[in-house]
Amino acid sequence: MSFTAPTITWAGLTPVLLVLGAGVLGVLLEALVPRRSRLTTQTVLALGAVLAAGVALSDRWVKVSAGTGSALTTGINEDPFGVAAQGVLLVIGLLAVLVIADRTSAGDGAFAAQGADRPGSAEETESLHAGWTSTEVLPLTMLSLGGMMLFGMVSDLIALFVVLELVSLPLYVMAALARHRRLLSQEAALKYFVLGAFASAFLLMGAALLYGYSGSVSYAVIAQVLQEGTAAGTDRLVLAGTALVTIGLLFKIAAVPFHAWSPDVYQGAPTPVTGFMAAGVKAAAFLALVRFYYVVGGNLGWDMAPFLWSVAVLTMAVGTVVGVVQGDVKRMLAYSAIAHAGHMLIGVIALDARGIHALLLYALVYGVATLGAFGVVALVRADHDGAPGAEATDLESFAGLGRTNPWLAGAMTVFLLSFAGIPLTAGFVAKFDLFVAGASGGAVWLVVAAVVSSAVTAFFYARLIVLMFFRDPTQGRVVVVSSTGLSAVAIVLAAVATIGLGVAPEALLTTLGHAVMLVP
């Protein structure tokens, strides 16, 4: 029996290997480092890996930006789009690590003392009194982030499935590790796992149908077979396969009607993990969908159009209308994320180079603001006779925050205005670029629907701003804990980036303009 070793260009995988290597090393450190030193060690390792990956990625960008890219190994391509997608996800990963690793002035973090402790048990009480925390969440974050970085580089269906699981499996565990409301957190993790399995099943079935049609799992080969013309009786086979793979990715971006898991999981998961999922998973899944649709699905443009248009309109409608009536800030942001997913689908449907550029920008801008917003939410706690408890996520808890903590409320206002697409914020630039791409790609009516959706969603963003600055605080309801530094840094960086990219976006727009050249 002979074995042919795969050819792998390791240099192109350096940024991903640094992140995944930090995840593997972090697992070893959990066993070797004393408990009292684990949080510091894991935080330094995670931040160092992300920053080192950023340095390595800048070198890769110089090498590929002038060309069309190449295959690093079977199923993984390096090109300007793939490198730019990694850059977007590294920015999101850096902010996520800062928020996840933070411990507040209350001496706690967002995560359970030990994930294995039964909620309400004597063991959990002992772990809490000992000051323990689940530091394994940082290696899990690195492993998931490494998968996200590969998502935009995937060029065949087998690699797509493997990377999807690499992204998802750590998140199933992380969603169950909330320090407070443990049972709600575990319920969220179970829902995420079960519905994530459904998403994987759809994707695998679609991959099987496409393989049966083309005899290959490679995007390029499937596209070539499509361009040569379908054999008699196989048009439905390829259409069903393309739709099922698309559905598998639509689950991850929480597009309607595949969104049912999103509000419950966002509400129950630890708040930093919610931010990481909302920003990172959505960006990664969209960037994977871009490559699949622009290479394969675009060849079925008119056949796929009714499906994608319907999903986009429903996603905007549900995210907007249901979001208006939410009384919990995490659920409100969940439905806001659903509405934004509908907007981002315009960039996919446009099937235009400008749509790729716009989606990269939107994923970055939305991810930065989302992590900043959830970083703020994590610091607003319920008041138990002066002692901070779980996050106070009902909207009324934010009443008067602008008077008691104006800097925190000011940062939250910046993020909300960016979500609404108000001028001089990065959200306005991203939405404008996306809507122009949609209009130039023939999706004018979708752009009109997105503008209406943006106008309505501005209502529930404005409602929270009014509560923070124009309502008196309720004594004894909430207490704002101080960050030990990491969350504060993340919130400040996110706010500065949101304003800076809104005022002077030219450099970023020019850089992302080079990324569209690498999609076949």
pLDDT mean over 20-46: 89
Q: How many CB atoms lie within 10 A of CB 43?
A: 19
332 burial (CB, 10 Å; 0-12 / 13-18 / 19+) is: buried
Which of 51, 178, 77 lies closest to 119 in space, CA to CA?
A: 178
Q: What is the pLDDT of residues 455-468, one digit of tens each?
A: 998 888 999 999 99
CA dist., res. 16 & res. 12, Å (int):
9
Which phi-psi region, left, alpha or beta, contains residue 70 (left: φ > 0; alpha: ψ -120 to 50)? beta
Residues 500/440, Cβ–Cβ less than 8 Å: no
268 burial (CB, 10 Å; 0-12 / 13-18 / 19+) is: buried
CA dist., res. 287 & res. 148, Å (int):
9
Computed over every residue of the chain, the mean pLDDT equals 86
Q: What is the pLDDT of residues 395-425, one digit of tens each?
A: 888 888 888 888 999 999 999 999 998 999 9
CA dist., res. 46 & res. 137, Å (int):
11
Choice between 515 and 67, residue whose per-residue pLDDT is larger: 515
Q: What is the pLDDT of residues 337-391, one digit of tens each?
A: 999 999 999 988 887 778 888 899 999 999 999 999 999 988 888 776 666 777 7
Residues 110/185, Cβ–Cβ less than 8 Å: no
Report the 3 state secondary structure along 409-436: HHHHHHHHHHHHCCCCCHHHHHHHHHHH
Domain borders along the chain are 10-518
**Token pair for 234:** 């196989």
Q: What is the pLDDT of residues 433-449, one digit of tens each?
A: 999 988 888 888 999 99
Whether residue 518 is predicted with pLDDT greater than 60 in this model: the reply is no
pLDDT mean over 174-192: 87
Choice between 72 and 217, residue whose per-residue pLDDT is larger: 217
With a CB cutoff of 8 Å and minimum separation 6, the contacts of 460 are 323, 324, 326, 332, 336
> What is Dmax (Cα atoms) for the chain?
77
Q: Give the model's pLDDT for residue 6.
A: 72
Residues facing 156 on adjacent strands:
218
Q: What is the pLDDT of residues 86-143, one digit of tens each?
A: 999 999 999 999 999 888 766 677 777 776 777 777 776 676 766 677 788 999 999 9
Confidence label for 172 from pLDDT (cuts 50, 70 and 90): very high
Find the DSSP H helices in 325-352.
329-349
